[in-house]
Structure 1
Amino acid sequence: MIKKLLILVLGILVASCSQFSNSPTSKAWHNLNAKYNASIDAKDYYDYAIHKIDSSQIEDYSRTLPILHKIDSNHTVISKAELDEVIRLTSLVAERHSNSKHLDKAYLTLGKARVFKEDFYNAIEVFKYLNSNHKNEEYRDAGLIWLMRAYMENDEFNKAEAVAQEISQLNLSKANKADFYQIKGAYHQRKGETALAAVFLEEALKHMKKSTKKARGHFIAGQLFKELGKGSLARENWKKVVKNKPTYELEFNSGIALLLQASDLGANANASFAKMLEDRKNTDLKDKIYFKMAEAKAESGNYREAIKDFSTSVALAEDRNQKANAYLQIAEIYYGPLANYSSAAVYYDSTLQHMSRTFPNYEAVEDKSKSLTRFVSYQKVLRTEDSLQQLAQMNPLALEDKIEQMIKAEQAKEKRLSEEAAALKKEEENRAVSGNNRNTNSDGWLFYNQVRLTRARTEFIRKWGNRPLEDNWRRKEKEAGSISFKLEKGIVGVDDIEEDPGEIKRKEEEKRMAELETQKQAMISKIPTTPQQMAISRRKQEEAYYQLGKIYRLQFNEIENSKRTFAKLLSDFPNSQYEQEVLYFMALMAEDKNTNQWKSTLIEKYPFSGYARQLKRGEIEVTADTESNAARAYEDLYADYKKQNYQQALKKAETALYDYTGTSIEDKIAMLRIMLLAKTGNNNSYRIALMDFIRSYPSSNLKPRVSEMLAALTKK
């Protein structure tokens, strides 16, 4: 009887502890288990995961920092194990303790963990469920805030904005306000809306507790206000960095930012930078100090000195990204203010060698580097072919003297550049060593200073060679008593036979003359002496002018330089194969659209070209009548084609193609013209028409067929 009673009581207790029961006993049981068996551990794992992610972030202080780093699973993978455990533990609360008061918190943490795992779809579903089935409004609000972030991280900005509108109507707690305004600021920053980003970030900072996170926020607010030209607000935020538990790097960079904002960037700034370099705390930050010194000099127009300081930053930096930033700044100076494209190309290439592919502007830098490399190569073609054509006009005797002068001038230039490069490299090394040794007592023992020791050994090897450690190491011949042992050629006690200095000089002169003659013959062989060779040389120039004009217009956006280059092409190469396209570019760049001579010339000379139709397309309005007339014209053309009236149909097709530009059947008329050109045997016009079709109608259903026709023609 007692046993049955115990079983009955136990059954009642078990039933009362069901997660679907609302009894006080059940709730107490599940609250206890949810809290101590899942919630606390999940929070600890989540906090540690975020700490690991934040600690591994490398901040690029040369640019405006992101308010929130974009979530990337390649980066957050460092916390995969912790995030997986968060998901497991929070899922237990939902599965086993659904009547617990910790359920809302578990769903929120679960959604956040999924966001950091870049599992946005499931994270969004969790936050939506929390919004619909919440018990606590604060967790509901937090879920909506993180729903907005999930949409933002998934690049669904319209949905993120819609959620933000809904959140703005809620009465948020202080913590939720801080999170909402911070995410809203990050949202506007990613959209390039700097002013709104600064406003929302500043609002978020009002609700944050004193912390490193708040210090970072003030630093970014300063950067944003600087971008907006609001120096006083920028300084105000940078000053607040030190009051909010900053890392040393944050404090250091805010100090430099305040220094650069000072009204006087002359001697006082230089003295401040020198003081920073002497501070032992900044030993690992000297590359960044030189970088900021260079930025200050560049802003004041002292570009040569800026380049030197950026070069020193490169020499001191151990971080590849820092090297890339310094190289990029040098490249930008050569590209912009100095307009030295050949040097810019070299430094952009160096930038790419050190820049991580994850950099936000990597693709832009890569594109600019490729454009500059092509630009410099085409400039070299122009100079080379121009020189060769001038040499071709000279008489043989004058030509030989001229070539010899050119070779000697080139050798002198190479020697000068080599010496300048060596001097610059030595200066950079000296500045780097000086920067590293600034805190070292110059009177200290050499062997306690590894940098000075390495430098001294390198200098010794340069002067004496890599000699073994032994007695009389300075002497070429080692003496024992009064006997000199000669090891050369196995002879003992016999002096070397010294060669006559005059003979040495004669042989060196013969070698120099032979090398000069070889170089002369090599250059003479490149001179275009026949009509065919001259035509090839001019063809290279034509191609170079065409490519340079396009690079100026499309990559560099230098309209005037593009105009001058294209005008030179049209004047020096009448009836160029690129004339249609060049006229099109010139028509687009013309300032006066009403008296556009380039457009008139293009339409007059090439009325049936795709470029002429493209210009016309922007000026006409296609009506239903126009479409109807085009359809009738096409039927008429096709009837002539079927009757084999090819010549008559071709003339009609060319007229119709121009008259009905912009209609829905324009591509069909162009296709029929191609078929008529094939029937009339005009192979050159046929090839041009095929290429023009592919360029003019990239989305046409007929394009694959045209591509096949062009491929078949190319194989012939």
Structure 2
Amino acid sequence: MVVLTAVFFVASCSRKKDKFLSRSFHAVTAEFNILYNGQIAFDEGRQALNDAYFDNYWEVLPIERMQVFDEIVLPGQSKNEQFTRAEEKAVKAIQKHSMNIDGKEKNPQIDEAYLLLGKSRYFDQRFIPALEAFNYILYKYPASDKINQAKVWREKTNMRLDNNELAIKNLKRLLKQEELEGQDLADATSILAQAYLNTKVIDTAITLLEVASNATKSSDERGRYRFIQGQLYNELGIKDSANYAFDRVIELNRRIPRIYLISAHLEKIKNFDYENGDKLAAQELLTELEENRENRLFLDKIYHQIGTFHLKNNHDSLAVAYYNKSLRANTVDKVLKAKTYEILGDMNFDATVYAEAGKYYDSTMLNQKLNSKPYRVMKRKRDNLDDVIQYESIAKTNDSILTLINLPEALRLSYFERYIEDLKAKDEAAKEQAEAASDNSNSTGLATAGPQRTGFGPPINLQQGQAALFYFYNPTTLAYGKNEFVKVWGNRPLEDNWRWSSNVAGVSGASNASETKVEALATEDERYDPEFYLAQIPSSEKEIDSIKKDRNFAYYQLGLIYKERFKEYELSKNRFLNLLDSNPEERFILPSKYNLYKLYELLGEEPEAAKLKVDIISSFPESRYAKILTNPDAVSEKDENSPESLYASLFAKHENQEYADVIKTSEAFINDYEGDVLVPKFALLKAMATGRLYGYDAYKEAINNVALTYANTPEGKQAQHIETNVLPRLANADFITDANTNTSGNYKVVFQFKSDNHEKIDAFKTALDEVLEHVRYYNLSSSQDVYDTETTFIVVHGIKSETVAKTFTQLFTDEDQKKIKEPYFTVSSENYQIIQVHKYLNIFLNLNNN
């Protein structure tokens, strides 16, 4: 009897029969079993997304907390297992409980299943399949009570697919045709607001957010919508309305996430009127936010805003203190850290402390997205500091060395005795700190057995006594170890053979701005011995002269950089004066005096400018600078004797393959105009001409010289690029002997002439060009290429076959063959490049003759 009842019950619950019992069974089973579990999985996935999402309060917040990733999701893959589970439950409900009878769905829960299916795919960022699910609801279930939700979700998906105009059109039609209320109205208007934001229609978005904030049942959403309103009013420059919107966020108080409350307060402070506002009240509010224990998680943002408040009020020291407190608050907000580092860098930059500014800018870039626009802007700004940091370091170090050189022996000894006393005190303090850290490790039980947490990693199970021995688990002892390494080895690069002494520059090599300290070179016995340090002072005339030259060059470069790049005229003036007071080489005196004269004019110091003008004209009457000062109108940028005009004419000669003349003239200009900003250009042009005339080895040497001598100029960096990336590709000097390996398929016919026989070369090229015009079926041309100082080639281009190249003259008519009697050789394009680059003509000819 029981079996018969069970069979009857199962038969009556068939998905193919439109019976009350069947409809009820499948609806209840789908809703309270499969879809219930699917909804739980969906909610957990949604919560995980919200927890992982990090809002960037430096930009207008998106309506929906969801991070869209660029990577492609392949079939079968998922970003969140909970959404996969929810999708599986939705599919199971459709497959096992759908009652599609006579083209109509009889189970009222199936539209819920398709909605869950679409939402799961949406948050899994599979927008096309999600759109299919929502469209299926609109097509198959037009009378569903979830129809409006499906329409809203469809337009959310359209927006994610960048179909903003379509989403706006459909949502406006929905709001016009349907009387939406409550959460449906809030969802529709908020998504429509996001679509308008995507299309930069801010005022309409603000209006729609007001409707959404009033209609939503969620205080969380209400706080977010009002905060976004405030941000949008700020973008429009309407600060009063923005502050009103932030006040409405603050009114919600504990009903919203605290981050909205804190951010609303801070946004109001950003809008503070520093001229007419109540500064005392603003400072009291910031102090209250700082001291409230509930705000401990947001101290990074609060400290940053307090620092900005003090900076605006010209309290720089307080601003720096609070910016540093913000950085020490262990913030996870990389944008905040980047902005804080940038502000501190700008403060040091404005104070002309460029080395410190450079360090802050480095930290800024570490917290910016690689190759983003802010990163590229900061990198350009940072690169501009490289030169000044390097030359300031050279000038400071070499000045110190020269001061020691000029001190009497007794004063030198006294100086190093004081230095050693300070060094002993520092070493003793570091030793005590390490001992205290070791004692603290033992007293806090780090040496006991059991799991120990090491930084951010998982707990590590240490055996008895292991933690006390392995000091990497203690940040204090780790810092001490790093300091000890620097003391012994200096700041060495991470590379092979790092212990070699060549990787550390001593005192005499300080001109390369190494940060290695002298004591790092000392043994344990020498560390506190004054004689060791006295022995490091350069004594030979050659060493001292080299240090002076490096120092003088650094002063000159600093004068130019401060004047031309940073417009810091006082600093530039001081560097040029320091240079002239240092008995510099002759090549620096005239350009330094002229630059100093221009600086006096810029600073309005007319008497000093007049004196220097007289000095330049009387001491260097034949110089270009004297001519400029004597008759400025007659000497313009287009003067044929100006460096710019000389470079332009010399470059034209290079293009015309007059390489010997280019080399000779460039050498003369480099010697005569040392210090001019165009000198690196002439040096690079000379290197290029040298390579074309004398081959790879000479080119390599010349390029290396430019890269080293003018390392911090654009030309020096271009030479470095050539040395690193171009020269290795030109280094191959092996001729291709197998015709099948000729990748280009191009061949050349080459005629040789003595370079000094200009008439013969011109006459032959004219005759050859006339003959080539008569050749049928081939588009041939010729060029005149310099090989070296003694040989010039006339080269025929456009031949695609080695056989045709070797029987070249057979392309001519009998009459034309009589005009071309000069001997020639054929060569592939690859081999011709090797001949020209390495000057291997004789080797190639011998190879072919054999």
TM-score range, shorter chain: 0.5 to 0.7
Aligned partner (choices 549, 560, 564) of residue 524 of structure 1: 549
Q: Cα distance 1:403–1:36, how it changes in 2: closer, same or farther (>3 A)?
A: closer
Aligned partner (choices 50, 53, 60) of residue 56 of structure 2: 60
Aligned partner (choices 35, 45, 58) of residue 39 of structure 1: 35
CA apart distance, 1:114: 0.3
Structure 1 equivalent of residue 676 of structure 2 = none
In structure 2, distance between residues paired with 1:173 and 1:402: 79
| Structure 2 residue 361 is the aligned partner of structure 1 residue 257 | no
Structure number with higher helix proportion: 1
Match of 2:117, as an amino acid?
L
Aligned partner (choices 120, 124, 131) of residue 127 of structure 2: 120
Instruction: Spell out the pairing of 1:265-414 with structure 2 (5 A cutoff).
Output: 266-298=279-311, 306-319=319-332, 321=334, 324-330=337-343, 333=346, 345-355=358-368, 363-377=372-386, 404=402
| Structure 2 residue 189 is the aligned partner of structure 1 residue 181 | yes
CA apart distance, 1:152: 1.9
Match of 2:384, as an amino acid?
F
SS of the counterpart of 1:67? coil
Match of 2:13, as an amino acid?
C
Instruction: Spell out the pairing of 1:243-254 with structure 2 (5 A cutoff).
Output: 243-244=251-252, 245-254=255-264
Q: Cα distance 1:203–1:404, how it changes in 2: closer, same or farther (>3 A)?
A: same
Q: Cα distance 1:328–1:402, how it changes in 2: closer, same or farther (>3 A)?
A: closer
Structure 2 equivalent of residue 24 of structure 1 = 20
Match of 1:521, as an amino acid?
S
CA apart distance, 1:372: 2.3
Instruction: Spell out the pairing of 1:483-522 with structure 2 (5 A cutoff).
Output: 511-512=536-537, 514=539, 518=543, 520-522=545-547
CA apart distance, 1:91: 1.1
Q: Cα distance 1:216–1:268, how it changes in 2: closer, same or farther (>3 A)?
A: same
Instruction: Tell me which of the two structures has the higher relative contact order, counting C-alpha pairs closer than 8 angstroms and 6 or more residues apart.
Output: 1
Structure 2 equivalent of residue 444 of structure 1 = none
CA apart distance, 1:70: 4.1
Structure 2 equivalent of residue 96 of structure 1 = 96
| Structure 2 residue 783 is the aligned partner of structure 1 residue 679 | yes
CA apart distance, 1:132: 0.9
Deviation string 1:558-605 (CA, Å, 9 cap, x unpaired) is: xxxxxxxxx999964335479999xxxxxxxxxxxxxxxxxxxxxxxx
Structure 1 equivalent of residue 645 of structure 2 = 574
Instruction: Spell out the pairing of 1:143-292 with structure 2 (5 A cutoff).
Output: 143-171=150-178, 172-244=180-252, 245-263=255-273, 264=277, 266-292=279-305
CA apart distance, 1:270: 2.1
Match of 1:118, as an amino acid?
Q
Match of 1:252, as an amino acid?
I
Is the contact made by 1:327 and 1:350 (CA closer than 8 Å) also made in structure 2? no
Is the contact made by 2:50 and 2:65 (CA closer than 8 Å) also made in structure 1? no
CA apart distance, 1:292: 1.1
Match of 1:239, as an amino acid?
D
Instruction: Spell out the pairing of 1:424-439 with structure 2 (5 A cutoff).
Output: none
CA apart distance, 1:121: 1.5
In structure 1, distance between residues paired with 2:120 and 2:766: 68
Match of 1:280, as an amino acid?
R
SS of the counterpart of 2:256? coil
In structure 1, distance between residues paired with 2:544 and 2:206: 63
Aligned length: 477
Is the contact made by 1:324 and 1:355 (CA closer than 8 Å) also made in structure 2? no
User: With structure 1 as the length reference, what TM-score do the two structures score?
Assistant: 0.54
Deviation string 1:513-568 (CA, Å, 9 cap, x unpaired) is: 6499846424537989xxxxxxxx99xx99x999x9xxxxxxxxxxxxxxxxxx99
Aligned partner (choices 101, 108, 117) of residue 110 of structure 1: 117
In structure 1, distance between residues paired with 2:390 and 2:637: 15
- Structure 2 unpaired stretches of 5+: 99-105, 407-443, 445-474, 485-527, 568-635, 653-764, 798-827, 838-850
Q: Cα distance 1:681–1:145, how it changes in 2: closer, same or farther (>3 A)?
A: same
In structure 2, distance between residues paired with 1:579 and 1:294: 55
Deviation string 1:127-181 (CA, Å, 9 cap, x unpaired) is: 1111111244542222222122212223344444454454344313432221122
SS of the counterpart of 1:573? helix
SS of the counterpart of 1:257? helix
Q: Cα distance 1:345–1:506, how it changes in 2: closer, same or farther (>3 A)?
A: closer
User: With structure 2 as the length reference, what TM-score do the two structures score?
Assistant: 0.47
Structure 2 equivalent of residue 644 of structure 1 = 769
Is the contact made by 2:213 and 2:221 (CA closer than 8 Å) also made in structure 1? no
Match of 2:769, as an amino acid?
Q
Q: Percent identity?
A: 17
Q: Cα distance 1:56–1:575, how it changes in 2: closer, same or farther (>3 A)?
A: same
CA apart distance, 1:232: 2.8
Match of 1:174, as an amino acid?
G
CA apart distance, 1:709: 8.0
Is the contact made by 2:78 and 2:84 (CA closer than 8 Å) also made in structure 1? no
Deviation string 1:442-498 (CA, Å, 9 cap, x unpaired) is: xxxxx9xxxxxxxxx99xx99xx99xxxxxxxxxxxxxxxxxxxxxxxxxxxxxxxx
- Structure 1 unpaired stretches of 5+: 388-399, 409-446, 448-456, 467-502, 529-536, 549-566, 582-639, 650-671, 691-707
In structure 1, distance between residues paired with 2:533 and 2:329: 42
